[in-house]
Amino acid sequence: MATLTKPNIKVKRQVISEEEATSEVAATTKQNVHKKTVYDTKDLNLWYGDTHALKDINLSIYEKEVTAIIGPSGCGKSTYLKTLNRMVELVPSVKTSGVITYKDKSILDKSFKVEDLRTKVGMVFQKPNPFPKSIYENIAYGPKIHGIRNKKILDEIVEKSLRGASIWDEVKDRLKENAYGLSGGQQQRICIARCLAIEPDVILMDEPTSALDPKSTLRVEELIQELKKDYSIVIVTHNMQQAARISDRTAFFLNGEVVEYDETDKIFTNPSDNRTEDYISGRFG
């Protein structure tokens, strides 16, 4: 428990300059102008073939906050999330327009290397998807592909990441075992640990608890609260209670548009749009 109160003094390179405040999108809340943004989305449109999946999205993601994205299925919330690390490009025939800046760098430019982006932005998926390798190899995968081969450093990274995902105690004696021997909830935390191993700035989570039982869900939610201190987190969820429990801000998506984006308390207690109210009170979706 000694580390409990230790201040977080993790050193990170801060790329963001003073001007970032001005780069904020006007449409979003004004109350927190002193907070730094990691992502600024301007007039983003996205098409799958002829389907217009995202329409004029303007949204800022703030540093070291949990931003929840809610909305009925097919509203574009996962698509938006996958645009933030350009995973959406794995689907052929995707077209985008508009600008997303990540720390002042325009990431939708073809010249921007997706690998660099994804090194800074981790992702946790809907279904736990550890690699069919040992627990150790799962965590060491990221550092290894990025050229870190020193065994001692890797050992440290593995331990630190597993601790960071609060699963170290459960797996420390079985690091060489296949990750598929773990329960679904443990697998998902392994996936989070795998993310942490390259110390990203942002973690994108695509309905990370939808395949888990309530108990495992709770553990992951606690973990997200914990990770918020060091990481900016964007979480897509279909579970409104979850959004209310864990997020600082919530964006409500409907039919590819952002209906409302505000502090979570406001969205859930006093939404300004009728459609938001209808959705959170369970009238559709």
Residues that bind another protein (CB under 8 A): 1-4, 6, 8-13, 85, 87, 90, 92, 114-120, 122-123, 125, 127, 129-133, 141-143, 145-148, 153, 157, 159-160, 163-164, 166, 168-169, 178, 180, 191, 194-195, 197-200, 219, 222-223, 226
Measured from the CB atom, the residue of 28 and 209 that comes closer to another protein is 209
Q: How far is the CB of 85 from another protein (least distance, A)?
A: 7
Q: Which is nearer to another protein, 8 or 111 (by Cβ)?
A: 8
Burial profile 62-99: b = 16 or more Cβ within 10 angstroms, e = fewer? bbbbbbbbbbeeebbbbbbbbbbbbbbeeeeebebebe
Nearer to another protein, 48 or 168 (CB): 168
Least distance in angstroms from the C-beta of 116 to another protein:
7
CA 177 to CA 134: how far, in whole Å? 5
How many other β-carbons are positioned within 10 Å of the β-carbon of residue 265? 13
CA 189, CA 168: separation in Å to the nearest integer?
10
For the beta carbon of residue 1, count every other beta carbon within 10 angstroms: 4
- Residue 98 CB, nearest approach to another protein (Å): 22
CB of 180 to another protein, least distance (A): 5
Residue 47 or 141 having the CB closest to another protein: 141
The nearest distance, CB 255 to another protein, in angstroms, is 25
- CA dist 6 → 1, 9, 13, 187, 229 (Å): 10, 8, 21, 28, 12
